[in-house]
A = this chain, B = another copy of it.
Amino acid sequence: MLGQLIEPEISEMIAKREFGALRRALQSFASASIAELFIDLQAAEMTVLFRILPRDRAAEVFEYLPLEQQEALMHELGTDQVAQILNEMAPDDRTALLEELPGPVTRRLIALLTPQERAIATQLLGYPESSVGRLMTPDYISVRENLTVGQVLDHIRKVGHDKETLNVIYVVDEKGTLLDDIRLRELILAEPEAPVSSLMDRQFVTLRADQDQEESVRAFQQYDRVALPVVDSSGLLVGMITVDDVMDVAEEEATEDIQKIGGMEAIDASYLNTGFWRMIRKRGGWLSVLFVGEMLTATAMGYFEAEIAKAVVLALFVPLIISSGGNTGSQASTLIVRSLALQELRLGDWWRVLMRELRSGLTLGAWLGLIGFVQVLVGQSFGWIDYGEHYLRLGVTVWISLTGVVAFGSTTGSMLPFFLRAVHLDPATSSAPFVATLVDVTGLIIYFSVATLVLRGALL
């Protein structure tokens, strides 16, 4: 929004080397807005703009940039400036950047950190990828329960300036075991002389550092918090996760699921930032697998070559019938994939879903079949198309086949995500194209089998 409005002027100032005016112009914008402005700039312009920012502003703006742009900028900047930015970044944002880069680059960058920041970085990078540990920040405040509220507030005033969020502080025992979380608002509302223990209810929700990030999204949604503490397997407090990072994870997870449902591997960058051949690989892999699967349709139709030769009119309905099965299957699988992701459905619900999808499929199939039947009748009566003297039997064939194919599609589409979850694969892999391919071959067999039965003695 902002970027589009002022970009031309900024470009002009850069071109004219009006750095003083530029610096003054940028002063009045929030860091997030400056980052937004950067996104539309060329790499060279971006570097110029970045260098004229005050030191502390630079690190802040850098944190708001997308990962790809952070990477591009690091290539352009000198080692000193990179070291300075890295040391001033919040640990969780820094971890996100470091884990995105190739191994040797990450090692070189870690070497630029101060010993203290290096210890934090390597600890966070020690957790598995996509784990809560990678997402957490060690920038939290913890206190002991024998302090008073006033002492805690003094402590916050002393150490709080560098901390990522002060909305929640944590109470720990002498070993560092988490005892409770206390919101800053509770401290403000309490009497300064009151002991911390008087605010404690020992009810708190924690995340474990080795949990998957996806589970942190569920926890934040369920408990409506702005931050959650992270503990290790023995209950020691090791970090904190903030809601802004969790929102980013939720968005990424949804994007991955959507891309998988669309029938491709998840790409982990934006469309225009993904290279041509990388994109071809991500899409071509699944397409090839589906294509080879779909080759079975040629084999299936080969079995009925004699029937098609006798009644070419049968071939006309092939795309209509198999696509209806595919469409219903794609609806069903999409519904179930999302419900499983949101934990509205559990693995044990499969039987209930199967029965329901069978009913839905038969109902929808009978309805679509009716439309098909009417079309054959109307087309024949008005003379738009000639289905031959046995058009009534042909219409019945279409009706019955559609009922069967659509019922098969919706049950297959709904059961595939359950099956994938049961064998510990991602249910989202059950994409619309995947389901359609599964349903196509069976759809053809159902259609030609019904045709053989209904049209025997007539067309066949």
In the bound complex, residues from chain B placing their C-beta under 8 Å from that of A184 are 166-167, 184-185, 188
Tell whether, in the assembled complex, residue B261 and residue A352 are in contact, meaning their CB atoms are under 8 Å apart.
no
A379 to B222, CA, bound (A): 56
Tell whether, in the assembled complex, residue B338 and residue A258 are in contact, meaning their CB atoms are under 8 Å apart.
yes
- Nearest residue, chain B, Cβ from A434: B327
* Most chain B CB atoms below 10 A, which of A270, A292, A316, A337: A316
Tell whether, in the assembled complex, residue A153 and residue B254 are in contact, meaning their CB atoms are under 8 Å apart.
no
Tell whether, in the assembled complex, residue B255 and residue A257 are in contact, meaning their CB atoms are under 8 Å apart.
no
Tell whether, in the assembled complex, residue A36 and residue B291 are in contact, meaning their CB atoms are under 8 Å apart.
no
Tell whether, in the assembled complex, residue B356 and residue A276 are in contact, meaning their CB atoms are under 8 Å apart.
yes
Expressed in whole angstroms, the minimum distance between the Cβ of A151 and any Cβ of chain B is 13
Would you call A283 an interface residue if the criterion is a C-beta within 8 Å of the partner chain's C-beta atoms? Answer: yes
Expressed in whole angstroms, the minimum distance between the Cβ of A216 and any Cβ of chain B is 12
Interface size on A, residues (CB 8 A): 115
Would you call A145 an interface residue if the criterion is a C-beta within 8 Å of the partner chain's C-beta atoms? Answer: no
In the bound complex, residues from chain B placing their C-beta under 8 Å from that of A243 are 226, 243-244, 247
Q: A287-B328, A342-B270 in contact; A258/B258 too (CB < 8 A)?
A: yes
Would you call A290 an interface residue if the criterion is a C-beta within 8 Å of the partner chain's C-beta atoms? Answer: yes
A431 to B333, CA, bound (A): 14
Q: A259-B335, A283-B360, A433-B330 in contact; A319/B318 too (CB < 8 A)?
A: yes
Tell whether, in the assembled complex, residue A331 and residue B436 are in contact, meaning their CB atoms are under 8 Å apart.
no
Would you call A344 an interface residue if the criterion is a C-beta within 8 Å of the partner chain's C-beta atoms? Answer: yes
Expressed in whole angstroms, the minimum distance between the Cβ of A376 and any Cβ of chain B is 9
Q: Enumerate 9 A-B pairs (CB-CB under 8 Å) in ascending A order.
A: A32-B224, A160-B188, A167-B226, A258-B258, A258-B261, A261-B261, A271-B339, A298-B319, A326-B326
Would you call A147 an interface residue if the criterion is a C-beta within 8 Å of the partner chain's C-beta atoms? Answer: no
In the bound complex, residues from chain B placing their C-beta under 8 Å from that of A125 are none
Would you call A13 an interface residue if the criterion is a C-beta within 8 Å of the partner chain's C-beta atoms? Answer: no
A284 to B410, CA, bound (A): 12
Q: Specify how many copies of this chain sit in the oligomer.
A: 2
Expressed in whole angstroms, the minimum distance between the Cβ of A158 and any Cβ of chain B is 10
In the bound complex, residues from chain B placing their C-beta under 8 Å from that of A308 are 308, 312, 315
Interface string of A192-214 (1 = CB under 8 A from B): 00000000000101000000000
Interface string of A95-134 (1 = CB under 8 A from B): 0000000000000000000000000000000000000000
A280 to B363, CA, bound (A): 8
- Nearest residue, chain B, Cβ from A297: B319
Tell whether, in the assembled complex, residue A247 and residue B221 are in contact, meaning their CB atoms are under 8 Å apart.
yes
Would you call A239 an interface residue if the criterion is a C-beta within 8 Å of the partner chain's C-beta atoms? Answer: no
Tell whether, in the assembled complex, residue A271 and residue B364 are in contact, meaning their CB atoms are under 8 Å apart.
no
Q: A167-B167, A319-B440, A367-B284 in contact; A305/B313 too (CB < 8 A)?
A: yes
Tell whether, in the assembled complex, residue A364 and residue B324 are in contact, meaning their CB atoms are under 8 Å apart.
no
Expressed in whole angstroms, the minimum distance between the Cβ of A386 and any Cβ of chain B is 9
In the bound complex, residues from chain B placing their C-beta under 8 Å from that of A91 are none
In the bound complex, residues from chain B placing their C-beta under 8 Å from that of A359 are 276
Q: A295-B320, A298-B319 in contact; A287/B222 too (CB < 8 A)?
A: no
Which single member of B166, B225, B301, B431 contacts A316 (CB below 8 Å)?
B301
- Nearest residue, chain B, Cβ from A204: B30
A305 to B314, CA, bound (A): 10
Tell whether, in the assembled complex, residue A360 and residue B318 are in contact, meaning their CB atoms are under 8 Å apart.
no
Given contact pairs A255-B342, A262-B333, A298-B320, enumerate 20 new A-B contacts (beta carbons under 8 Å): A64-B224, A184-B184, A243-B247, A251-B254, A251-B342, A254-B258, A255-B338, A259-B338, A261-B334, A264-B334, A280-B363, A292-B371, A294-B319, A294-B320, A295-B320, A297-B319, A301-B318, A302-B385, A323-B326, A323-B436
